[in-house]
Structure formats: structure tokens, C-alpha cells
Amino acid sequence: MLGAFAASAVVAAPTYSNAFGFLRGAGDIRRVRMYSGRTGESMDTIYWIEGEYIKDALQEINYFMRDWRTDQAVSMDARTVDIMAASHSLLNVKEPYMLLSGYRSPQTNAMLRSRSGGVARNSLHMKGQAADLRLKSRSVAQMAQAAAACASGGVGSYSRSNFVHMDCGTVRTWGG
């Protein structure tokens, strides 16, 4: 089955015309692959099979996407994970995402906000609804285009910092 899912990703990757289908009923299997340069951890997990989320896999994702500064984890919104997985499939890469930021505690968000004007006061990271991601093999523009094609949340392009923000909030785009 995984081969069939990967084959459908190859077909859709050039045009993104089937992005909505990847997110809504994205096939029988959904998978997310990430690593963290901050913790040295990596994960490659199937978290959805035939219409059902896998509880243990979601718990693994929650822990992986924790605030590494405080070691706090929350339940990440599965919709954000779905957007990440769908975008990754559209990009047709085997390379895992580099996770820069998943959940952020209010303390971490306030600290980052004091250092940068680009950090929202009420960031969706604090609700477990956002991720900042990077791929070596794809540009920020390519990643943002794939995420925006899902039409399921916010997509921020941060070209200078080489990452894309994906969230399950209001459908919108920003940055460059």
C-alpha cells in the first residue's frame, strides 16, 4: 500500500492539483518523517491507517514536537501533522523534515518574541497547532507552495531563515 501512496505523490507533485485529496482521505496510510538538530532525535512513523489515527504514533509525535527548551509536550493538533505529511508527499522527497519548532511553551514563545519581531504573541505553536520546518533538498518557495496547495491552514515563508511555518489555523499565507 505504501508504494501506491508514494506513486500517487509522484503524479501529483508537479501540479499540486490533487493537494486537497492528499489531505482529505490522503490514502490508506499517512506518514511523517522528521529529525531535530536540537535534540539529535529522529522519527519516521505511520500515524494513520485506513481512516484511523494510531494513538501510540500520535503520542510519539507529541513528544518529538515538544518544546525542547522546557521539555514540555502537548497533544499536537493532528490537522497540522496532516498538513505536514500531505505537503511532504506533494514535494516527492524521501528526506525527513528538520523540525525547528513544534510546541512552544508560553515562556519560550515570550523569549523568542523578545528576540524577533516575527514571533506572534498568541502563536499557534503554544496550542500545538503549528510547526516550523526545513528541507535541504527543497526551497522555501517550493515547501510553501506545497503547504498552501493543501488549503488547510496558515503557511508562512521565511526565506532569510530558510524555513516554512505550517499551521492548522485560518487559511492564509505570508512572508517571502
pTM to 2 decimal places: 0.84
The helix or strand, by DSSP H or E, that contains position 2, with its residue range, turns out to be helix 2-12
pLDDT in tens, 36-52: 989 999 999 999 998 89
Domains in the chain, please, with CATH? 2-175 (3.30.1380.10)
Instruction: Find out whether 29 and 5 touch, Cβ atoms under 8 Å.
Output: yes
Nearest Cα neighbor of 10 from 88, 106, 108 is: 88
For the segment 40-89, what is each residue's pLDDT rounded down to a tens digit? Answer: 999 999 999 988 999 999 999 999 999 999 999 999 999 999 999 999 99
pLDDT one-digit tens code per residue, 127-151: 999 999 999 999 999 999 999 999 9
Q: 124: closest CA among 89, 82, 158, 74?
A: 74
144: Cβ contacts below 8 Å, ≥ 6 apart? 155, 156, 157, 164, 173, 175
Cα separation of 145 and 121, whole Å? 26
Give the separation between CA 163 and CA 62, rounded to whole angstroms: 20
